[in-house]
């Protein structure tokens, strides 16, 4: 079936398609893949239903980690001589892991990306600016090749400064910008400091990935206002593939179910008693996303626990019947912090901080003074107030009424954090430009305990 046809088909037909693809994949990889033979206990396996598949064992990134110097993930199927692509996870949550792809697997990557480019309404006439550093991270290499496959002109900007990239926007006149959400905001901030109006540039769409943000209303609206352009969200992972694209209304992510089986694991399965705090932190109906890739043979992804926390919904979204993840990826199970006995997620802090548009960048430092945990939120703002101003919570206790919904009052941010998260934060204003920026994944939580 064509991409548009399979997005419109009903769930029963879609599940038949998935089951057929799954069994073909198992027949191909199990005889040669030692990792999955040991995990499943079979070198031949025929799955009769997706319900049967849901009873098979799962894997996590830690299961695939290899302590050898190569860092090569343990679940590869073939000898290394059969692979053509070398990529590595970002390492933001531990040791980087090396993933290899065969030539056929790379073709699958690019064909799957076409769903994402369809959602962007990408045309061969578009000029794509890639505002990130080209390294072993897979995400934008695959995007680069997929855009070329579509016939677009691709403008790589690896190794360039932010100023040089702004100049490139003026001279090369790209129509689509690819970046992380935080770097898109940094570009806009730097442009504003230089007196450049990006709403008058050639960019009609900002494509964001690598971080949460494209499906977050506060971040999304800030990017759209800065560029005068539509924002499109995307989700993928080096070890999984390009599994999701933003919904038309900008409020959710669709899993590309023609190429991935999506399952939703109840959060009761999470370790460290995280489940009892999830509903308070992220709301009801939150699950861990489990994915099976239907087209990757060299490094198969079979019932992989992504660690992504999502809120699934099955409803038609125009011409797309793929499952929606409301709000995109809400957070990660392995991001949870335990502070003074309270479980919190960085995404919860991010949502509160971004409700104050005056805050341009932030960083959370978690430290220990004696036996007590301390939380210091460093913020940069757009105004000219002096740095090192403490917006600290009054010592009298937690306020419960009269919180400002917007506007950075002397204690508004710290009070809102305290009330919603039940923890005391010291909010410290730092000079503009003091906090680090990156065109890769931003690291905004530093646990120094």
Query: Is residue 164 packed enough to be buried (19+ CB in 10 Å), middle (13-18) or exposed (0-12)?
Result: exposed
* Contact (Cβ atoms closer than 8 angstroms) between residue 234 and residue 254: no
The yes-or-no verdict on residue 79 having pLDDT over 60 is yes
Residue-wise pLDDT tens digits, 110-129: 999 999 999 999 999 999 99
- As a whole number, mean pLDDT of residues 122-150 equals 89
**If pLDDT is split at 50, 70 and 90, which confidence band does 337 have?**
confident
What does 297-347 look like in DSSP terms, one character per residue? -SS---SEEEEEEE-EE---BTTB-SPEEETS--EEGGG-EEETTEEE-HH
- The structure tokens listed for 243 are 């599994």
Residue-wise pLDDT tens digits, 200-259: 999 999 999 888 788 888 889 999 999 999 999 999 999 999 999 999 888 899 999 999
Residue in the structure block whose two tokens are 């934060």: 425
3-state DSSP helix/strand/coil percent for the chain, to nearest 5? 30, 25, 45
Q: Which residues of 358-396 are buried (b: 16+ CB within 10 A; e: fewer)?
A: ebbbbbbebeeeeeebbbbbbbbbeeeeeeeeebebeee
- As a whole number, mean pLDDT of residues 131-155 equals 88
Q: Average pLDDT, whole number, for the chain? A: 85
- The structure tokens listed for 52 are 């049967």
The yes-or-no verdict on residue 269 having pLDDT over 80 is no
Position 267 scores a pLDDT of 80
**pTM greater than the 0.85 cutoff:** no
Residue-wise pLDDT tens digits, 303-335: 999 999 999 999 887 789 999 999 999 888 777
Residue-wise pLDDT tens digits, 283-309: 568 899 999 999 999 999 999 999 999
Pick the CATH number of 1-333 from 3.30.56.10, 3.40.50.300, 1.10.260.40, 3.40.50.12780: 3.40.50.12780
| 369 strand-pairing partners | 372
CA atoms within 13 A on the CB side of 98: 13
Position 93 scores a pLDDT of 55
DSSP 131: -
Domain ranges in the chain are 1-333, 337-447
- The structure tokens listed for 140 are 């934008």
Position 94 scores a pLDDT of 60
Distance, CA of 301 to CA of 183 (rounded, Å) = 30
* Contact (Cβ atoms closer than 8 angstroms) between residue 219 and residue 179: no
Q: What contacts 101, CB < 8 A, 6 or more positions away? A: 83, 84, 85, 87, 109, 296, 298, 299
Pick the CATH number of 337-447 from 1.20.1070.10, 3.40.640.10, 3.40.50.11540, 3.30.300.30: 3.30.300.30
**If pLDDT is split at 50, 70 and 90, which confidence band does 31 have?**
very high
- Asked whether this chain's domains 1-333 and 337-447 adopt the same fold, the reply is no
Query: What are the start-end ranges of the H helices in 99-216?
Result: 103-119, 139-150, 162-172, 181-193
Most confident of the ranges 294-298, 316-320, 342-346, 420-424:
294-298
* Contact (Cβ atoms closer than 8 angstroms) between residue 332 and residue 141: no
Determine the number of helices (DSSP H) and then strands (DSSP E) in the chain.
Answer: 13, 21
- As a whole number, mean pLDDT of residues 19-42 equals 96
């Amino acid at each position: 079936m064509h991409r548009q046809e399979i997005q419109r088909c009903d769930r029963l037909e879609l599940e038949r398609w998935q089951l057929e693809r799954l069994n073909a994949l198992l027949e191909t990889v199990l005889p040669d893949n030692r990792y999955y033979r040991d995990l499943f206990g079979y070198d031949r396996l025929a799955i009769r239903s997706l319900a049967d598949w849901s009873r098979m064992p799962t894997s996590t990134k830690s299961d695939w980690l290899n302590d050898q110097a190569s860092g090569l993930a343990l679940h590869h199927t073939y000898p290394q001589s059969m692979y053509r692509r070398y990529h590595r996870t970002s390492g933001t949550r531990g040791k980087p892991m090396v993933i290899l792809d065969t030539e056929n697997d790379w073709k699958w990557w690019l064909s799957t990306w076409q769903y994402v480019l369809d959602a962007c309404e990408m045309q061969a006439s578009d000029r794509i600016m890639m505002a990130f550093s080209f390294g072993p991270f897979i995400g934008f290499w695959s995007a680069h090749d997929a855009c070329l496959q579509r016939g677009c002109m691709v403008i790589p900007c690896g190794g360039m400064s932010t100023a040089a990239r702004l100049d490139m926007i003026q001279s090369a006149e790209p129509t689509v910008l690819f970046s992380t959400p935080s770097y898109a905001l940094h570009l806009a901030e730097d442009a504003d400091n230089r007196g450049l109006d990006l709403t008058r540039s050639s960019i009609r769409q900002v494509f964001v990935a690598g971080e949460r943000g494209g499906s977050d209303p506060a971040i999304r609206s800030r990017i759209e206002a800065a560029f005068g352009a539509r924002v499109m969200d995307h989700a993928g992972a080096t070890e999984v593939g390009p599994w999701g694209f933003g919904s038309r209304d900008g409020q959710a992510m669709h899993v590309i179910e023609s190429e991935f089986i999506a399952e939703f694991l109840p959060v009761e399965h999470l370790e460290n008693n995280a489940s009892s705090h999830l509903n308070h932190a992220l709301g009801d109906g939150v699950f861990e996303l489990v994915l099976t890739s239907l087209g990757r043979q060299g490094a198969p992804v079979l019932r992989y626990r992504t660690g992504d926390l999502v809120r699934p919904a099955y409803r038609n979204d125009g011409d797309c019947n793929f499952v929606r993840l409301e709000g995109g990826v809400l957070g990660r199970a392995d991001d949870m912090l335990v502070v003074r006995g309270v479980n919190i997620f960085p995404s919860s802090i991010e949502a509160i901080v971004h409700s104050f548009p005056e805050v341009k960048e932030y960083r959370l430092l978690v430290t220990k003074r004696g036996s007590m945990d301390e939380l210091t939120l460093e913020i940069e703002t757009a105004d000219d107030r002096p740095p090192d101003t403490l917006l600290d919570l009054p010592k009298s206790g937690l306020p419960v009424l009269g919180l400002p919904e917007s506007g950075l009052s002397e204690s508004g941010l710290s009070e809102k954090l305290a009330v919603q998260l039940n923890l005391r934060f010291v909010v410290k204003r730092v000079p503009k430009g003091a906090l680090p920026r990156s065109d890769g994944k931003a690291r905004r939580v530093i646990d120094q305990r």
